[in-house]
Structure 1
C-alpha cells in the first residue's frame, strides 16, 4: 500500500512539474512566428553621438537612416522597444502580466494586426521600405544581443509589425482609454456621457440635437481607471505646451517652442535624434519607441510640434441583441455579431497563464459586452495607418504650402499642430478626424445601435477645422485648451463659426489661461520673455483653482480644528509652484486631484479629504506643513536626486509622480522633451533642447543615463547639433553599422 501511495505521489509531483514547465514555456511556442522583411537589401548607417549621447544618424538613403535609428535607439533603450514590439504582436502580457494582457486585449479588440495587414499595400513603397529597414535594425540588434531579449520568438519582425503598433497606439492619443475601461467594467462612462438606457428607447429629439458645453464633472458615478488597467500608465498623456512667435512679434527670429508633456519612461517617452540622408531627409527632433522617424522637431526650413486635443471623436452605440446574444438588430434585420476567440498570455511569477477571451465586432466597430448590454465603439480613424506616411512626408516637406498640403490629407487622426518656418510664417491647426455627424442626436450620449440613421460614415472636411495662419497678433499657443483662445484678442477664432456637432472642446487649462494672458500682455515676445512664459509656475484664480480655494476658505475651523493650520496656510498661498512660498508644498499636494478632475472630467474631489491627506503626508514625512517644495518634489534617476519646481497644470509642468517610501514625490510625467527652434533672417536654423534624464534612460551604466538632469532642473537647454560639421566637432563616439542580410 505504501508503495502504491509512493508511486501515486510521484505521479502527482510529475504531473505538477510537467504542468509548471508547460506554463513557463508554452507562450513562445504558441506565439505566431516572426517574419523578417522580404528581399535581400542591406543597410549601412553612421551613428555619431554628441557630448550628451544624442545620436546623429547618417546614411546614403532614407532606409539606411531608418535602420540606424533602430540600432541607436536599441543601444539606449532596447527594453522599452521590446515592450512595444510585444504590444504589436499581442504578447505584452507575457512581459507585464495582467496590465500587459489588458493591452493585448485592446490589440485584439481593435484588430490592430488585421488593420496593418490589410492596409500595408496602400502605403507608398518608400514608406514601406522605411518601416522594413527599421524592423531589420531591431532584428539585427536582437540577434547580436540575445541576452537582452525578453521573450522567445519575439524576433524577427517586419514593417507590418511596426505598423500594427501604430494601429494599436494611435487611438489613445484622443482618449479611447477613457471609454474602454468603464465599458469593460460595466461602470458609468465619463461624465459627458448620459445614462446607459435601452437603445430602443433612444430617439433623436424633436427640436434637434442637444449639444452641451464642456460639462463639469459631477460626483455621480466615478469612472474607474481603464481596465485594461495598464493603458493609463502605458499610453496616458497629461498635456503639452506649444508656442510660435513671428519675427515681427519677437523683434528678431521666428521662434517655435515644443514643450510636450509625456511620461519620462515607457512606450510614449520621447527619444531625441538628428537624422540626415543623401536623399535629402534632414530632421532634428524626437520620436516614440517603435517609430523610424521623428514626430516633431524641425528641418532646415520649417518645424512643428504637437499638443493633445480632445474633440468629441468617439461615439458609443448600444446594440439590441437577440435572446442568444449572438445577433444584433440593425435597420429591422438581425445581423450576426462577429466573434473571435483569442488567448491572452498573463505572466504570474515564473508562469505565463493562457487566458481565453472573446472579442466582438459589429457594423459600428468593436463591441464590448457588460452586464448593462452590448456597446460598440466608433471613431473615424479606426482601420487606418495612413499617418505613417503623413509623418514621413512632413519630415521632408520644404515650405508651408507643401506642409499644409500634407496636413490637408487628414491622415493624422488627432493632436494640435503648431508650426513655424524660416519665411516667418506661424500656424496652428486644430487637427482631428472628427466624425461627420448628422443632426438629430445627442452625440454626447449613448446612441441607438439599431438604426443606420445614427451611423456616420465619414469625417468633417479638413477645411472646416479651426486653423490659424499668421494671425495679426504675431503669436499662437496651445496648452491643451480650447482652440478659440489661441492667438490673443482680435485674432482668436469665434466658436460660433463652427458646427456644435464637431464637439470642439471649450475647456481652459490653467496653463492655457496663463499663456494666453502673458502673451496677450507682452508688447514684444522675444527670447527672454518667451522663456519666462514657458517656465512660468503660476496659477490663475479661475476655473477649478478658484472653486478649490473657495471651498478651502469655506471650511469651518470649529468643525475641523485639525485642519485649521493647513487651511490658514493654503489661504496664504501665493498661487505659484516656484519652490519659494511657505505654502507651495501643501498646495502642490492639494491641487493635484482638483486639476485631474477638471482635466480628465472626473468627479470633483472632497476638499476636506484632500486637505487632510496633504496635511497628514507632510506631517508624517517632514514633521511640519511648510517644508520647501524642492524637498518634497524630486527628479530621481539612479543616484541622482534633485529638487524640482512646477506643479500640476503649470507651464513649468511637474504633473504626475510616484510617492516613494521617504514621502518624496518622484516626478514621472510632465515637462519632457523641450525643443527651442529659431530662424533668424539670412541665418541657418538653430535649436536647443533638453530632457529630464538623458539619452539612455534604461542603461544605468551609460554616461548618458542622467547627464541632462542638472540642466533640466535649472531651466537650461543644451545645443542641438543640427549641422553635420557641428555634430562631428562635438562627437564623442562614431560607429558604422550594417545589416548582415546578404
Structure 2
C-alpha cells in the first residue's frame, strides 16, 4: 500500500451509456481484422484486440499519458513523467481536445472505453492501481507527450537538464553565421539556480530513428503501383508496431499498424491509396537563454521583467515495493518550457507545440480516397514531423518532407542554429511555415521515390531530385545521408525495371558503400599504427580486406558489424566519432571472450531472440546497423550474442494492379501477441522474418473470414 494510487489524478470514464459492438477475426497469424457498424465501434474493438495481445505495454503507455510511469518503471519512468509535466502534455490535451471534431473525439472515447473494459475484466493483469478508467483526453495527452520525440526533442531536453553541450544541429549554414559545432552551453557559466535543476539520473527518452520507404509507379514496375513500408523501430515496447485491419460501415477500411495507445493505424493502405513514413530531422527546436533577476523567478523580455510560470508536481518513483513521492517544479516562459541548469536558465520552443490536431489528421488520412484529399490533410501541418512516401491505385507516387517547421522570421538575421537571446519577443515565432515551403516530389519522371532517413535532395534520381538552393536555410532542412540512402539511390538509379524481384533484392540488400562515416572509419583503420600489437593488427587487416557486405558469409562480418554500429550512432546523432583503436580492442576482446576467435560467422553473433526456457526461439540474422536490411541496435546477452532490439520491424508490401483490387503482404519480427508467451502468435512470424518472407494481409472481409482461425464479437458492458 502506497500513497500514489490515492493521490493520482482521476479520469472520468467515457459516456457509459454509449454501447459498442465489434467483430474480431483473427487470421492464421493472429492478426486482427476488426469490423464494426461505426468507426467508433471499430476503435473499441482495436483497444480490446491490442489489449488481448499486449496489455502489458498498453499499461506503460497509459501510465505515461497520466504522468504515473515512475510508479511502474522507477527512476527512468520518473524522467518521462518529468517531461510529461515539462511539456504540459495534460494541459495541451485539456485546451484542445474539446475542439476536435465530434467524430474524432468519438473514436478516442470508444478506444478508451475498450481499454477500460479490458482492465475491468482482467484485474489480475493490472500493474498499477487506479490507472483506469481513462478517457479520450488521456489518450490525447499521450500523443502530446510522445510526438515531439520523433524529431529528437530528447536530444535537446537531456543536455539542457544535465548542462552538457548540445549536439551540433543539422542543416545548412545561415548566411552571416558560419558553421560551428552548434549551440553549446558555456562550461564556465555561473553556477546559478542549480537548485532548480532536475537531479534524477537522465537516460535516453528513446529517440526514434530508421526506416526505408519506396514507391514505384506502374510504368517503372512493369505492372503495379507499389508501396514498400520498411519501418525500423524498437521490436518491443511503446513504439513497436502492432498490425491490424480495420473496417466499418462508415467507410473506414484500412490495413496497417499503430503504436500502443492509438485507435487508428499510422501507416499502411486503404482500398485506394497508401503511405508509409520515415523519421526526418529538420531543425524543429529553438533554444533561448533567459536573463534572470536576482530572485531567479523573473526573466527579462522586451525590457520588462516577467514572472516565470511555475507549477509544483509530484513524481512517483518506484523503489522496490514502495512508491516514493518526489517533488519537482516545472517552469514556463512566453517561449515555452524552461529548464534551469548550472550554466543558466533556458527556454525551448518546438514545432507542433501546444497542438493535438494530428489526432484528427491521421484519422482523415486513413479515410482519404484520392491524392488530393490525402495531400490536403498533410497541408494542415498538423502532423509535426516524419517523411511521407505515397502510392495509389491511379499510379500516382509522392514524397513529402512533412514537418511543421517553425515559421522563423527571416528578416531578423538571427542565428537559429545557436542559442538565441531570450529577451526578444520578435524571436518567439508562432506556428509553422506554409505547406508550399517544404520539399515535396510528385510523380517524378524516374518512376520511383524513396527515403532512408536522408536529406530530401536525393529521392528520385538525378533528373528529378530537388535542389538545396531552392529552400531557405532558415527552414533547417537536414543535409545528411545514411549508408542506406546512398545504397538505395545507387541501386534504384541503376535498375531498369523495378519489378518485384528487383525491389526485393534492394529492400534486403546488406551492403555498405565505402563513403561517409563508413569510409572515414576504414580510412582510419588503414592508418592505425599497430606495429606493437600483433593481435589488433591481425583484426585490422581482417577488416581492411572486408567485402563491405553484412551477409554472414565473410570472415570479417562479425567484427565489422560491431565496429560500424557505434560510428553509425555517432554520425546519426551528430556526435564525435569514438576512438578507432579503443573500439577495435573492445570488440576483439568481446569476440575472443565469447567465441574464442575474431572471425565467427555473423549468424552466430547476431540473433533474433524471443521467449525463455522451452518457449525460446533463437534464430540467426543478417544485415547491419545501416544497411537496407537493417539490424540497427541490439543488447548483449550473457552468452555474448547480440539480441536485436531495433531494426527492420513491421514490413508491408502493397500493390495496385490495373483493374484489380489492392493486394498486400506483411511481416512482424516476432508475432501479433508480442507480450503473451503462452500464445501461439508470440513467435510464429520469426522464421518468416529471418527468411526474408512475407505473409498475406487479409484486407478484404471475405478473405479474412476464409482464413479465420478465430472469430468473435466484443461488446461494451
* Cα distance in structure 2, aligned partners of 1:209 and 1:671: 42
Secondary structure of 1:255 counterpart: strand
2:139 to 154, 157, 162: 162
* Distance (Å, rounded) in 2 between the aligned partners of 1:712 and 1:241: 16
**Between 452-461 and 500-509, the greater mean CA deviation after superposition:** 452-461
Q: Is the 8 A contact 2:21 2:714 kept in 1?
A: yes
**Would you say 1:472 and 2:445 are equivalent positions?**
yes
Structure 1 residues 635 and 670: alpha-carbon distance in aligned structure 2, compared to 1, 3 A threshold = same
Could you tell me how far 1:438 is from its partner in structure 2? 2.0
Deviation sequence 1:126-185 (CA, Å, 0-9, x none): 000000000000000000000001111111000000000000000000100001111111
- Name the CA shift for 1:677/1:208 in 2 (closer, same or farther; >3 Å): closer
1:590 corresponds to which residue?
563
| Displacement after TM superposition at 1:212 (Å) | 4.0
- Please state if 1:730 is matched with 2:707: yes
DSSP 3-state at the match of 2:114: helix
Counterpart contact for 1:169–1:235, Cα < 8 Å: no
> Of the candidates 145, 153, 156, which is equivalent to residue 179 of structure 1?
156
User: 2:211 maps to which residue?
Assistant: 240
Asked whether the equivalents of residues 286 and 420 of structure 2 are also in contact (C-alpha less than 8 Å), the reply is yes
In structure 2, what is the Cα distance between the partners aligned to 1:725 and 1:716?
24
Q: Do residues 626 (structure 1) and 610 (structure 2) align?
A: no
1:463 and 2:436 are equivalent in the alignment = yes
**Residues of 1 paired with 2:557 and 2:202: CA distance?**
31
Distance 2:284 2:88 in 1: 19
Give the Cα separation in 1 of the matches to 2:260 and 2:17: 25
Give the stretch that moved more between structures: 596-605 or 161-170.
596-605
Q: Residue in 2 aligned with 1:300?
A: 271
Asked if 1:483 is matched to 2:456, the reply is: yes
| Alignment equivalent of 1:66, drawn from 40, 43, 46 | 43
Match of 2:583 in 1: 610
Partner of 2:533: 560
Spell out, residue by residue over 1:65-88, the C-alpha distance to the aligned partner (whole angstroms, 9 max, x if none): 000000000000001000011001
Aligned residue in 2 for 1:712: 689
Alpha-carbon separation, structure 2, partners of 1:641 and 1:666: 9
Q: Is the 8 A contact 1:209 1:441 kept in 2?
A: no
Question: Residues 227 and 692 (structure 1 numbering): CA distance in 2 closer, same or farther, change over 3 Å?
Answer: farther
Q: Please say if residues 284 and 298 of structure 1, whose CA atoms lie closer than 8 Å, have aligned partners that are also in contact.
A: yes
**Quick one: distance in 2 between partners of 1:727 and 1:460?**
43
In 2: Cα distance, 1:515 partner to 1:568 partner: 29
Q: Quick check: 1:427 aligned with 2:404?
A: no
2:351 to 357, 380, 386: 380
In the TM superposition, residue 553 of structure 1 has moved relative to its aligned partner by 0.5
Looking at structure 2, the residues matched to 467 and 208 of structure 1 have their Cα atoms a distance apart, in angstroms, of: 24
Q: CA deviation at 1:612?
A: 0.7
Give, in whole Å, the separation in 1 of the partners of 2:323 and 2:199.
20
* Selected match of 1:210 from 153, 177, 183: 177
Match of 2:194 in 1: none
Q: Kindly state the Cα deviation for residue 231 of structure 1 after the two structures are TM-superposed.
A: 6.2
Deviations 1:307-345, CA, capped at 9 Å, x for gaps? 000000100000000000000000000000011110000
- What SS is found at the alignment partner of 1:239? coil
The higher radius of gyration belongs to 1
More off after superposition, 448-457 vs 119-128:
448-457
Q: Is the 8 A contact 2:167 2:182 kept in 1?
A: no
Choose the corresponding residue for 1:142, options 119, 130, 144.
119
- 1:105 corresponds, among 73, 76, 82, to 82
Among candidates 655, 658, 666, match of residue 689 of structure 1: 666
Partner SS, residue 42 of structure 1: coil
Which structure 1 segments of 5+ residues have no match? 1-23, 195-204
Output the CA distance in 1 between the equivalents of 2:110 and 2:619: 40
Looking at structure 1, the residues matched to 206 and 531 of structure 2 have their Cα atoms a distance apart, in angstroms, of 45
1:211–1:405 Cα change, 3 Å = farther
Contact in 2 for aligned 1:51/1:732 (Cα 8 Å): yes
Counterpart residue number, 1:20: none
In structure 2, what is the equivalent of residue 449 of structure 1? 422
Structure 1 residues 383 and 265: alpha-carbon distance in aligned structure 2, compared to 1, 3 A threshold: same
Task: Kindly provide the CA deviation profile for residues 559-610 of structure 1, in whole angstroms up to 9, marking residues without a partner as x.
Answer: 4333111101001111011011110000000111110111111121100011
1:532 alignment counterpart = 505
SS at 1:613 equivalent: helix
Residue 229 of structure 1 deviates from its aligned partner by 6.3
Give the conservation status (yes or no) of the 8 Å contact 2:166–2:182: no
Contact preservation (8 Å) 2:623, 2:631:
yes
1:3 — aligned with what?
none
Name the structure 1 match of 2:475.
502
8 Å CA contact 1:486–1:516 kept in 2: the answer is yes
Q: 1:549 to 1:295 in 2, by over 3 A?
A: same
Determine the C-alpha separation between the residues in 1 that align with 2:202 and 2:76.
5
Instruction: Tell me which residue corresponds to 1:328.
Output: 299
Per the alignment, in what secondary structure is the counterpart of residue 25 of structure 1? coil
**Partner residue of 1:355?**
326
User: Which of 655, 673, 677 is the aligned partner of 1:700?
Assistant: 677
Is the 1:211–1:442 contact (alpha carbons within 8 Å) kept by the matching residues of 2?
Answer: no
Task: Please show how residues 47-62 of structure 1 align to structure 2 within 5 Å.
Answer: 47-62=24-39
Post-superposition offset of 1:37? 1.1
Q: Mapping of 1:239-278 within 5 angstroms?
A: 239-278=210-249
CA drift of 1:120 comes to 1.0
Question: Is 1:122 the counterpart of 2:99 in the alignment?
Answer: yes
C-alpha offsets along residues 367-389 of structure 1, whole Å, 9 cap, x if unaligned?
00001111001013110000000
Q: TM-score, normalised by structure 2?
A: 0.96
Contact 1:312 1:504 in 2 (8 A): yes
Distance 1:722 1:345, change over 3 A: same
For residue 236 of structure 1, report the CA deviation from its aligned partner.
2.6
Give the alignment partner of residue 345 of structure 1, picking from 316, 326, 330. Answer: 316
Map of 1:315 onto structure 2: 286
Q: Are 2:183 and 2:418, in contact at CA under 8 Å, matched by a contact in 1?
A: no
Residue number in structure 1 paired with 2:165 = 188
Change (3 A) 1:483 1:564: same
Q: TM-score, normalised by structure 1?
A: 0.92
Query: Is the Cα–Cα contact under 8 Å of residues 608 and 618 in structure 2 kept in the other structure?
Result: yes
Q: Note the aligned Cα RMSD (angstroms).
A: 1.8
Match of 1:370 among 335, 341, 355: 341
Please say if residues 461 and 489 of structure 2, whose CA atoms lie closer than 8 Å, have aligned partners that are also in contact: yes
C-alpha distance in 1, partners of 2:93/2:246?
26
What's the secondary structure of 1:104's corresponding residue?
helix
- Offset at residue 33 of structure 1 (A): 1.6
Distance 1:711 1:40 in 2: 44
Verify: 1:542 aligned to 2:542, yes or no: no
Q: Does 1:400 align with 2:371?
A: yes
Q: Do the aligned partners of 1:181 and 1:227 also contact (CA within 8 Å) in 2?
A: no
Contact 2:289 2:347 in 1 (8 A): yes
Q: Does 1:551 align with 2:528?
A: no
Is the 8 Å Cα contact of residues 689 and 719 (structure 1) preserved in structure 2? yes
Residues 285 and 350, structure 2, Cα contact 8 Å, conserved in 1: yes
For 1:282 and 1:423, the matched residues in 2 are separated by: 18
